[in-house]
Structure 1
Amino acid sequence: MAGHSKWANIQHRKGRQDEKRGKIWTRVIREITVAARAGGGDPTMNPRLRLAIEKAKAANMPADRIKYNVDKASGNLEGQALEEIRYEGYGIGGAAIIIDTMTDNKVRTVAEVRHAFSKHGGNLGTEGSVSFQFKHCGQIVFAPGTSEDQVMEVALEAGAEDVITDDEGAIEVLSAAPDLEKVREALEAAGLKPEVAEVTMRPENTIDLAGEDAERMQKLLDVLEDLDDVQEIFHNANL
């Protein structure tokens, strides 16, 4: 299947994440903590923890620091009681935004999220106000130049739901969220190394924003991204 260009958006997002490497570590540690507390400290038995550890490795976190945080969380040592909360809202031009947070103070978090929306041209919505526009799924992305035939053959055999090639030649493999790791492992075993492999909220449709609207939307996303309690942001804007 052909699809709209996602490659530029993915590269743009990765570049901005690289600029904020320290914050990425903080978020990954939170994810490891919640995953280990919820499902135990054995990554072979805890898919969410395995994904969190993969993110930590991708962010160049040292192995001993990863192990320390897994041990700390699974051993129920002293630490913050973190709660996962999702917020939904609208950005510039009606673009849909989902913000996943981990917080030890939800009063503070909702106040900061609401302030960011109101100050930068968006609106914080109610639960379910935009999430219906997204699909919770596994997403694996390969750079342009990867063999589409090989990716399709291996991915579909491993249980992927769809393979989409965008306008720039990047290949996107979609799976049910629980099947992500199985599909990724099959692709990597075939010598196919993805640029992105994650469980995500993928927009069903996108909104194109350009010029001043794109700049305002990026500013809103940056402000939300910089909030301490924010873990992930998903949106349907093509900037």
Structure 2
Amino acid sequence: MGRGPSIEARKNAVDAQRGKIFTKVIREISVAARAGGGDPNGNPRLRAAVDKGLAVNMSKDVIERAIKKATGELEGVTYEEVRYEGYGAGGVAVIVDCLTDNKVRTVADVRHAFGKFGGNLGTDGSVSFMFRKLGVLNYDGGADEDAVTEAAIEAGADDVVVYPEDGAIDVLTAPEAFADVKAAMEAAGLAPGFAEVTLRADNDSPVDGETAEQVQKLLRWLEDMDDVQNVYSNADFGAAA
């Protein structure tokens, strides 16, 4: 009978993953602070990034240093926002949002990932028209549907979606209303389990079998890259279940 990984090996793996998450959050804090100022109360994007950092147990000192570096109080690296669009196996649309200090390196790495898993990098706008930007507040199954719906309408949300298979609820908002709706829901005692401003495809693209495996490998590979902040696709893996 083979032995599993040691406690030290598992801890190292967890620490490495935690480090990658911290790297991505710090970059988001840096870009948000540089673009909109270092006060989270007057910068919704920075407020969301700080909340994300606190949610993964990032210390306030680390967050404050990242903000100070971005606003010039401390010396730091300047990151640039860049988006890549392309197609995975089976014609699945993929959007890759990056924060990088070296665009030449990043585009080469992203192009390599697409090619490695049967896809290809496209031109600007080649797939982004298939997606829309919106705020999402998610509640696990078991949440009071009536209470969430009533509070969401009162808060100015655009829509409430209930998933019958597990009872989960999504409250959808315009991106610019996300922070206010989230604050109102929390004030009503209905803090979401997860909340973010994201991209969602207007129509999903079902994939299964080997194609689904290739697409999943591509998405995981991209998500694991340090320069990559977010990966979006219109893949529907339901057919692969």
> What TM-score, normalized by structure 1, do the two folds share?
0.88
Give distance in 2, aligned partners of 1:147 and 1:18: 36
Query: For residue 212 of structure 1, what is the aligned residue in structure 2?
Result: 210
Given that residues 41 and 74 in structure 1 are in contact (C-alpha distance below 8 angstroms), is that contact kept between their aligned partners in structure 2? yes
Deviation at 1:95, TM superposition (A): 1.4
- Which residues of 2 match residues 20-31 of structure 1 at below 5 A? 20-31=17-28
Query: For residue 72 of structure 2, what is the aligned residue in structure 1?
Result: 75
Give 1:184's match in structure 2, choosing from 182, 185, 197.
182
Give 1:63's match in structure 2, choosing from 36, 60, 63.
60
Give distance in 2, aligned partners of 1:154 and 1:84: 35
Given that residues 138 and 174 in structure 1 are in contact (C-alpha distance below 8 angstroms), is that contact kept between their aligned partners in structure 2? yes
Identical columns (%): 58
Higher mean displacement: 197-206 or 64-73: 64-73
Deviation at 1:192, TM superposition (A): 1.3
| Aligned AA (2:124) | E
Deviation at 1:45, TM superposition (A): 0.7
Q: Does 1:163 align with 2:160?
A: yes
Give distance in 1, aligned partners of 2:17 and 2:118: 24
Deviation at 1:128, TM superposition (A): 0.8
For the residue of structure 1 that corresponds to 2:42, the secondary structure is coil
Given that residues 120 and 219 in structure 1 are in contact (C-alpha distance below 8 angstroms), is that contact kept between their aligned partners in structure 2? yes
Deviation at 1:19, TM superposition (A): 8.1
Given that residues 96 and 236 in structure 1 are in contact (C-alpha distance below 8 angstroms), is that contact kept between their aligned partners in structure 2? yes
Query: For residue 96 of structure 1, what is the aligned residue in structure 2?
Result: 93
Residue 238 to residue 63, structure 1, CA distance change in 2 (3 Å):
same
Deviation at 1:18, TM superposition (A): 10
Which runs of 5 or more structure 2 residues have no equivalent in the other structure? 1-13
> What TM-score, normalized by structure 2, do the two folds share?
0.88
Bigger RCO (CA 8 Å, 6+ sep): 1
- Which residues of 2 match residues 83-232 of structure 1 at below 5 A? 83-166=80-163, 167-232=165-230
Larger Rg: 2
What's the Cα RMSD here? 1.7
Give distance in 2, aligned partners of 1:192 and 1:93: 40
Given that residues 209 and 237 in structure 1 are in contact (C-alpha distance below 8 angstroms), is that contact kept between their aligned partners in structure 2? yes
User: After the TM superposition, which segments of 4 or more aligned residues of structure 1 sit over 3 Å from their partners?
Assistant: none
Deviation at 1:113, TM superposition (A): 0.6
For the residue of structure 2 that corresponds to 1:88, the secondary structure is strand
> In the TM superposition, what whole-angstrom CA distance separates every residue of 1:158-177 from its partner, at most 9, and x where no partner exists?
11111111132111111110
Query: For residue 38 of structure 2, what is the aligned residue in structure 1?
Result: 41
Deviation at 1:209, TM superposition (A): 2.5
Give distance in 2, aligned partners of 1:98 and 1:234: 5
Give distance in 2, aligned partners of 1:196 and 1:19: 23
Deviation at 1:49, TM superposition (A): 0.5
For the residue of structure 1 that corresponds to 2:189, the secondary structure is coil
